[in-house]
């Protein structure tokens, strides 16, 4: 009997899972069908939203039609899912339709939890969704001088290098235009007492500090955000300290989408995330369910970034395929490589990942290359990725 594999979410985790499963199912002649559910018609590449927000890249260049997966043999259903019934192996859509499954991959990401701090929703700008990125671009074009603050309210947050990346990118932007903009990066201390600048180790930390010095970017760690007063443009912290801003770029707190906020899915130790078994990215009780979105990365010890989610999808689908057909293509978690902007250049960062005592450890990170070429490599890689769905 044909096995049904259902994938929730058309972001990085969902698309990587669909493509890898389709390739292996066709290669081995496995009797299985893949269906992917996505809330709308687009697969987006969020790292490019920084280019939208700062340089005005057209939003069309950051997306591809999710139905491009159909040429690889993946069924695509467009529309919001309303509920997951783990006990009966069903997903209910908002239109009332139900889809059953033998295996379920959940890759739904997290939502922007602006409500977590008073005033955060009303204050500032961000580029964590396409519409907001376009609004940020319009606002930045009007901002010629003053104090610009990049604020992360809490950790973890999506793409841990984001505050440093956007600050140095903007540092170059304003420096080349001779504008008097004073940039401040304000992020939380980490549990180990390190700062986010140090999060990827001393090698990459030195890189950020070099560009902070070049563009006179100020960095201040904080012990917890209390509230923001949008009218006064004032940020208040739990230790009683405050600071002001003329322009605020905010990083969203991570919160679960409504569909995942249910007892059988919530990670009890930190309800911002889903429960997951780190070894194989399975649900601890429902072994046919795999969780590989950003909602599942922190409980495994991994960071919430596309490169980690990509590798998690490859590893999880290896276990699924082994269950399904005994093909045994289970890969070790590889070193992850990320290309990011830094000032007028780009750099390639590499983090080695090891599985130890039920968790992943990835503190061996280094800067593999820093050059203007890397800026082009970043854009080219993401456009090439999208072309896999765009091209006939």
pLDDT tens digit sequence for 282-303:
999 999 999 999 999 999 999 9
Q: Quick one: what percent of the chain has pLDDT higher than 70?
A: 100
pLDDT of residue 363: 72
User: Residue 103: which pLDDT band, with cuts at 50, 70 and 90?
Assistant: very high
65 within 8 A of 390, measured Cβ to Cβ? yes
Q: Does domain 3-110+256-330 have CATH number 3.50.50.60?
A: yes
pTM over 0.85: yes
Integer CA distances (angstroms), 213 to 98, 167, 172, 184, 222, in order: 56, 12, 12, 12, 20
pLDDT of residue 296: 97
pLDDT tens-place string over residues 249-268: 999 999 999 999 999 999 99
Q: Quick one: what percent of the chain has pLDDT higher than 90?
A: 92
User: Residue 330: which pLDDT band, with cuts at 50, 70 and 90?
Assistant: confident
pLDDT of residue 194: 84
Is 328 a residue whose pLDDT tops 80? Answer: no
Q: Which two tokens stand for residue 360?
A: 């992943």
User: What single-letter DSSP state applies at residue 30?
Assistant: -
Average pLDDT, the chain: 95
Nearest Cα residue to 47 out of 322, 238, 310: 310
242 within 8 A of 255, measured Cβ to Cβ? no
Highest mean pLDDT among 198-207, 219-228, 357-366: 219-228
pLDDT of residue 192: 80
Q: Taking the domains of the chain in order of start, what are their residue ranges?
A: 3-110+256-330, 113-253
Hey, do 3-110+256-330 and 113-253 end up sharing a CATH topology, with the first three levels equal?
A: yes
Q: Does domain 113-253 have CATH number 3.50.50.60?
A: yes
pLDDT of residue 20: 96
pLDDT of residue 60: 97
Q: Which two tokens stand for residue 240?
A: 């009683």
pLDDT of residue 331: 81
For 244-310, give the DSSP string.
Answer: E-SEEEEPPPEE--GGG-STTTB-TT-TTSB--BTTTTB-SS-TTEEE-SGGGSGGGT--SSHHHHH
Give backbone dihedrals phi and psi of 300, rounded to 5 degrees, phi first. -95, -5
Using CA atoms, how far apart are residues 12 and 293, in angstroms rounded to an integer? Answer: 8
pLDDT of residue 199: 86
Is 228 a residue whose pLDDT tops 80? Answer: yes
pLDDT of residue 200: 86
89 within 8 A of 102, measured Cβ to Cβ? yes
């Amino acid at each position: 009997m044909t096995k049904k594999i259902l994938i929730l979410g058309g972001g990085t985790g969902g698309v990587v899972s669909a493509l890898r499963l389709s390739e292996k199912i066709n290669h081995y002649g496995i009797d299985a069908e893949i269906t992917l559910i996505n809330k709308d018609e687009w697969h987006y590449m969020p790292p490019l939203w920084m280019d939208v927000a700062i340089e005005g890249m057209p939003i069309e260049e950051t997306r591809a039609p999710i139905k491009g997966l159909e040429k690889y043999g993946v069924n695509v259903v467009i529309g919001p899912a309303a509920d997951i019934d783990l006990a009966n192996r069903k997903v209910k859509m908002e239109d009332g339709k139900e889809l059953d499954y033998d295996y379920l991959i959940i890759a739904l990401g997290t939502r922007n939890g602006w409500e977590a701090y008073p005033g955060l929703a009303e204050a500032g700008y961000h580029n964590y969704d396409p519409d907001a990125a376009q609004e940020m671009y319009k606002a930045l074009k009007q901002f010629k001088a003053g104090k610009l603050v990049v604020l992360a309210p809490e950790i973890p947050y999506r793409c841990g290098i984001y505050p440093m990346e956007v600050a140095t990118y903007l540092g170059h932007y304003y420096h080349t235009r001779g504008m008097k903009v004073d940039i401040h990066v304000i992020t939380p201390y980490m549990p180990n007492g390190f700062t986010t600048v140090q999060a990827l180790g001393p090698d990459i930390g030195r890189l950020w500090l070099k560009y902070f010095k070049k563009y006179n970017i100020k960095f201040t760690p904080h012990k917890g955000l209390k509230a923001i007063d949008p009218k006064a443009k004032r940020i208040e912290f739990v230790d009683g300290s405050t600071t002001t801003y003329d322009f605020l770029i905010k990083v969203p707190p991570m919160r679960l989408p409504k569909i995942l906020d249910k007892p059988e899915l919530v990670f009890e130790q930190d309800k911002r995330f889903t429960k997951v078994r780190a070894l194989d990215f399975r649900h601890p009780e429902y072994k046919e369910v795999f969780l590989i979105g950003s909602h599942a990365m922190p409980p495994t010890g991994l960071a919430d970034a596309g490169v980690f989610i990509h590798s998690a999808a490859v590893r999880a689908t290896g276990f699924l395929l082994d269950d399904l057909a005994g093909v045994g293509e289970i890969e070790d978690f590889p070193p992850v490589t990320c290309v990011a902007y830094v000032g007028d250049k780009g750099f390639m960062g590499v983090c080695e990942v090891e599985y130890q005592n039920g968790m992943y450890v990835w503190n061996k990170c280094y800067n593999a290359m820093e050059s203007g070429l890397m800026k082009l490599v970043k854009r080219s890689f993401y456009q090439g990725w999208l072309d896999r769905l765009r091209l006939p």
